[in-house]
Amino acid sequence: MRFTSEVENIFTQKEIEEILKYEQQFFIDHAEKNWLNRYFKISAMAKETQVPSVVSSISDMPKGSGTFNKSKTESFALQSVRAREWVETLFKAVESLNPCEQELIELKYLQKRNDGAKYSDEVIYPQLFMGKNKYYRMKREALEILGRKLYGVITEGDCS
């Protein structure tokens, strides 16, 4: 409680609201850019079953040496496993949302129309039986929650 009153003495209410707005936008951007917008590409990698051509390599360098190349088959298999783990992590985070937020995220980001395009917001909010303002407020809240849950999960270099 004391810390809160000290912070309020340092920052004005408007400054605190501005900081929180930027924080919220950071997590929304993280959820969209690092997770939801990559879903279809990484999901396809997780389902990939094609095995690259097998080529043996012989080296006199000890295993684990920086100059020794890993096999293409091993790299491909690891990439597929990482992609499946990535998708699983995303789904667990989505499943932790309340049912309405979960449905919103699934319709907006995890499903495509027959022509391959994503559904627009104008198509989704009537399906959820809610008004435009409530839809956009819920969408921001759901994205922020996802961003917070998924922030810190290692994604760089994992799959893409």
Write the pLDDT tens digit of every residue in 73-114: 777 778 888 999 999 999 999 999 999 999 999 999 999 999
Residues 6+ apart with CB under 8 A from 89: 150, 153
- Map tokens 């994992």 to a residue: 158
Q: What are the angstrom distances between the C-alpha of 3 and each of 8, 12, 28, 142, 159?
A: 9, 15, 27, 29, 42
53-66 residue pLDDT tens: 555 555 555 665 55
Give residue 49's pLDDT band: very low, low, confident or very high (50, 70, 90): low
Query: Per the domain annotation, does 123 fall within a domain?
Result: yes
The average pLDDT across 32-37 equals 96
Query: Per the domain annotation, does 29 fall within a domain?
Result: yes
pTM: 0.76
Number of domains in the chain: 1
Q: State the Cα–Cα distance between residues 110 and 141, nearest whole angstrom.
A: 17
Query: Per the domain annotation, does 95 fall within a domain?
Result: yes
Query: Per the domain annotation, does 51 fall within a domain?
Result: no
Does residue 141 have a pLDDT over 50?
yes
**Burial zone of 143 (CB within 10 Å; 0-12 exposed, 13-18 middle, 19+ buried):** buried
Residues 6+ apart with CB under 8 A from 119: 107, 108, 111, 112, 113
- Map tokens 């989704």 to a residue: 124
8-22 residue pLDDT tens: 678 788 887 788 789
Query: Per the domain annotation, does 58 fall within a domain?
Result: no
Where in the sequence is the domain holding 38, given as residue range(s)?
13-46+68-150
- Map tokens 């994604």 to a residue: 155
Q: Look at residues 110, 112, 100, 107 and name the one whose alpha carbon lies nearest to residue 142.
A: 100
Query: Per the domain annotation, does 113 fall within a domain?
Result: yes
Q: State the Cα–Cα distance between residues 95 and 85, nearest whole angstrom.
A: 15
